[in-house]
Amino acid sequence: MKKERKEALIGCFPPVSDVQHQQMKGKGAANFIVLLTWGRELFARGFHRYSNGELVERQRYVFAKDGAVRYGSETGTRWTVRSEFREPVFCSHSYGYTFNNTYAVINIKAIDKSDMRYSQYQKYTGSLLISYLHLYCKHPNLEYLMKQGFELIEEYCTGYWGGASKLQLSSLINWKTNNMLNMLGINREEFKVLRESPHVYERYIGWRDEFPKMKPEDLMHLAEVFGSEHGTLARFVECTKLTPQRIARYLSENQVCTKDYSDYLQQCVKLNYDLHDTAISMPHDFSAMHERLSAIIQYQHNERVKQEFTAHMADRSVLEFTLEDLMIIQPKCIEDIAAEGAALNHCVGGYAERHAAGKLHILFIRTADKPDVPYYTMEVSAAGEIVQVRGAHNRAPGKAVSRLVEAYRAYLAKIFKKERKTA
């Protein structure tokens, strides 16, 4: 808008009607924006009501096809063009205290009678209406984005005390065209994907810049799951050796947030679990696995659990057994159980507390030539029954281990029969 026209519009402000004045009457401090039209141009008059009911006009605006302008007045009578366009400030701040500059809008329907009628202003009728109309005056093609759900507008605070708010448009938009695809810098396939979640547009573009050959659906997963956390994804890829697409898809489908997954990976590293194994890096039941690892780590630092574990070791010596080149031994400490689970990639670590309390028995099957290398793990109930035997990745026993298990089953029957007789 040219300077001469800005000056000329000062004298064109329509009067506020008696009805509108009545709407602003009352007690208590409050702010109002009264919208009026002159021809097709939209005028806004900003009033502050003091606690005693006195009404004083503070700001004026005009919104037209050729731009927008703000007027200010030191006295409330002589209005002059202001160089800075901003939201109305109805009261000045002092000593670091910012007055409330929110406002109620009176005669909102005036917009529909003006050149601003296609602006899609409805979202901002509660706040920042003035800023939004200013943006629309600068970029009328904003209408096309808003209609398609691409509300690429960011609110932020301005001013030394942070008391004023402002809207800013995405820097990624090409405002020199009315073509939606060209405005957004995307193709038709990307547009179809983004229409489902237009709010992630900027993040989507960020991921596309990093992975230009990735499919739109996969980029969408990255945008929705990781936001702008590019470093977080890089760390997950490094830990698991999984592709970015696979990680994002897993987190999305299982509704796992990046914070929880990061915590889980740290737990796996602490317990020496093999994160290159997808059964570990992408557990079927993430929540259960996460809780299990949390419990294992807690047990390792729980003195009561450690004491209980030690107290049952002597009694469990009778459970140790040897057949040919295979042996069954008990863990020497609670950390051994966690290490067993990590080495064989199964969930035995979650049984550590019950083993320590004597509610069940966790036993290790080893070969005679490699007594320290995890081979198979056995769970025996408190009553002396074999519950399960699992190798790496929950593998079932082979022939040699099966023979050991059958011989051990007979051995347990004798031991627990004696215990029952003694009891």
The answer on 19 and 164 residing in a single domain is yes
The answer on 139 and 7 residing in a single domain is yes
Asked, for residue 304, whether it belongs to a domain, the answer is no
Do 83 and 63 contact (CB within 8 A), yes or no? no
The answer on 191 and 116 residing in a single domain is no
**Mean pLDDT lowest among 23-32, 35-44, 156-165:** 156-165
Do 73 and 5 contact (CB within 8 A), yes or no? no
155 pLDDT more than 90: no
What distance, in Å, lies between the first and last C-alpha atoms of the chain? 100
End residue of a domain, out of 235, 268, 298? 298
162 pLDDT more than 70: no
SS3 397: coil
The answer on 222 and 87 residing in a single domain is no
The answer on 122 and 15 residing in a single domain is yes
Do 219 and 194 contact (CB within 8 A), yes or no? no
Q: Considering the entire predicted model, what is its pTM?
A: 0.69
The answer on 127 and 17 residing in a single domain is yes
What's the CA dihedral at 382, 383, 388, 389 to 10 degrees? Answer: 80
CA gap 373, 376 in Å, rounded: 10
Do 263 and 290 contact (CB within 8 A), yes or no? yes
93 pLDDT more than 70: no
The answer on 383 and 315 residing in a single domain is yes
The answer on 128 and 263 residing in a single domain is no
Asked, for residue 221, whether it belongs to a domain, the answer is yes
> What pLDDT, on the 0 to 100 scale, is given for residue 158?
62
Q: Which of the residue ranges 93-107, 113-127, 331-345 has the most confident prediction, judged by mean pLDDT?
A: 113-127
Mean pLDDT of 229-234: 96
> What pLDDT, on the 0 to 100 scale, is given for residue 125?
83
The residue behind tokens 């009026």 is 36
Angle at 108 between CA 7 and CA 45, to 5 degrees: 30
Q: Per-residue DSSP letters for 259-299?
A: HHHHHHHHHHHHTT--TTSHHHHS-SSHHHHHHHHHHHHHH
Residue 315 Cα distances to 311, 349, 381, angstroms: 8, 21, 14
Neighbours of 21 (CB within 10 A): 14
Do 294 and 263 contact (CB within 8 A), yes or no? no
End residue of a domain, out of 298, 327, 347? 298
CA 277 from chain centre, in angstroms, equals: 26
End residue of a domain, out of 139, 169, 199? 169
Mean pLDDT of 216-237: 95
The answer on 276 and 367 residing in a single domain is no
List of E strands, 170-271: none
List, for residues 258-281, the tens digit of each pLDDT value. 999 999 999 888 888 889 989 889
Number of domain units in the chain = 3
Asked, for residue 181, whether it belongs to a domain, the answer is no
The residue behind tokens 């003694």 is 422
Give the chain's radius of gyration (CA, Å): 36
Range of the domain at 38: 3-169
The answer on 200 and 139 residing in a single domain is no
SS3 263: helix
Angle at 361 between CA 359 and CA 365, to 5 degrees: 170
The answer on 266 and 405 residing in a single domain is no
Asked, for residue 222, whether it belongs to a domain, the answer is yes
Handedness of CA 288, 353, 326, 371 (dihedral sign): positive
Taking all residues of the chain, what is their mean pLDDT, rounded to a whole number? 89
Percentage of the residues of the chain whose pLDDT score is greater than 90: 61
